[in-house]
């Protein structure tokens, strides 16, 4: 039996469990199971691993994407740059090998923990097909953990990013600063906040939607509901829109690829 799962707190609902359970059944992958491991304190993480020796991989969600890095033996450069991990590959490793690796996350263990960030892959692959020549500057709504991967991908694609938060500071503007004039320059707008997520579907980021045009692209990391009020208001102005569902699918499949890869690929080094 090979075990996989998701760690986080709270875990009231999980796309990952539904996705992988359906995948195992659909593709006839036997003796594989995906479970939820709700841990409030990361100090319980080592014990979780020791109690589940058949774990081969984990997804990580809030609030542990940053803190879990302390326990890892190795972190992919993308994840280190983003400073967040949402996928862990667990492989067998002898204590001697661990001692000589130079990086040990959990002492006296017989497994190796490698951290990755599949948010980067999922966001980049779902965004790139939608980009046009005018999408050279982006407004990123929100400065929480989800915005880290977005910022990394935009930098990689040479798209200048301006961040918008409830309070302006040296590196971000406030929502009051998002004017029609600003929107005429920033044709890509990405919502990384939870505003509009079910069940609060009547909420949306406070921007002048009437200034949007058919040249704008609105991307919402939220996938439930399928069309948030943010996306609806954009569509009504003729803007192209995209929700976060494909990003989730891509993330999940990337996790599966990582868990089943015996060695780190050259591009991962």
In this predicted model, what pLDDT tens digit does every residue of 197-209 receive, in sequence order? 999 999 999 999 9
Ramachandran quadrant class, 159 (left: phi over 0; alpha: psi -120 to 50; beta: rest):
beta
Q: Where in the sequence numbering do the catalytic residues fall?
A: 65
pLDDT exceeds cutoff 50 at 167: yes
Question: How far apart, in whole angstroms, are the C-alpha atoms of residue 226 and residue 91?
Answer: 37
Quick: pLDDT tens for 16-25: 999 999 999 9
Contact by Cβ (8 Å): 239, 213: yes
Which pLDDT does position 111 carry in this prediction?
A: 85
| Residue for token pair 């009051």 | 176
How many whole angstroms separate alpha carbon 108 and alpha carbon 106?
7
In this prediction, residues 152-180 reach a mean pLDDT of 96
User: What is the structure's pLDDT at 96?
Assistant: 43
pLDDT band at 100 (very low <50, low <70, confident <90, very high): very low
Global confidence as pTM: 0.88
Q: Tell me what percent of the residues of the chain surpass a pLDDT of 70.
A: 91
pLDDT class for 58, splitting at 50, 70, 90?
A: very high
Model confidence at 93, pLDDT cuts 50, 70, 90, reads: low
Mean residue pLDDT across the chain: 91
Of 105-114, 191-200, 239-248, where does mean pLDDT reach its minimum? Answer: 105-114
Phi, psi values for residue 139, rounded to 5°: -100, 125
* SS3 at position 265: coil
Local structure of residue 139 (DSSP, 8 states): E
Please tell me the distance from the alpha carbon of residue 226 to that of residue 242, in angstroms, as a whole number.
9
CB 254 within 8 A of CB 88: no
CB atoms within 10 A of CB 79: 26
Please give the distance of CA 86 from its chain centroid, rounded to a whole number. 7
Q: Give the residue-averaged pLDDT of 75-99.
A: 81
> Which of 143, 154, 145 lies closest to 217, judged by CA?
154
pLDDT beyond 50 at 104 = no
């Amino acid at each position: 039996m090979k075990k996989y799962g998701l760690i986080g707190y709270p875990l009231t609902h999980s796309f990952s469990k539904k996705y992988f359970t359906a995948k195992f059944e659909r593709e006839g992958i036997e003796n594989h199971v995906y479970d939820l491991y709700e841990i409030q304190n990361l100090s319980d993480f080592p014990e979780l691993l020791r109690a589940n020796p058949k774990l081969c991989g984990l997804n990580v969600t809030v609030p542990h994407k940053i803190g879990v890095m302390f326990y890892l033996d190795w972190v992919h450069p993308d994840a280190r740059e983003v400073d967040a991990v949402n996928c862990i590959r667990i492989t067998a490793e002898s204590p001697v090998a661990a001692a000589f690796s130079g990086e040990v996350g959990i002492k006296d263990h017989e497994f190796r923990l490698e951290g990755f960030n599949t948010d980067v892959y999922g966001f980049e692959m779902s965004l790139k097909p939608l980009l046009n020549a005018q999408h050279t500057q982006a407004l990123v709504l929100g400065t929480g953990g989800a915005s880290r991967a977005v910022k990394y991908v935009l930098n990689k694609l040479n798209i200048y990013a301006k961040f918008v938060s409830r309070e302006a500071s040296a590196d971000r503007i406030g929502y009051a600063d998002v004017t029609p004039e600003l929107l005429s320059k920033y044709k890509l707008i990405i919502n990384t906040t939870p505003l509009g997520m079910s069940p609060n579907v009547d909420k949306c980021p406070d921007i002048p939607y009437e200034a949007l045009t058919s040249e704008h692209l609105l991307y919402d990391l939220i996938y439930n509901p399928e069309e948030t009020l943010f996306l609806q208001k954009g569509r009504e102005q003729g803007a192209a829109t995209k929700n976060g569902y494909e990003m989730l699918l891509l993330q999940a499949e990337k996790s599966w690829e990582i868990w089943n890869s015996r060695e780190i690929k050259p591009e991962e080094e």
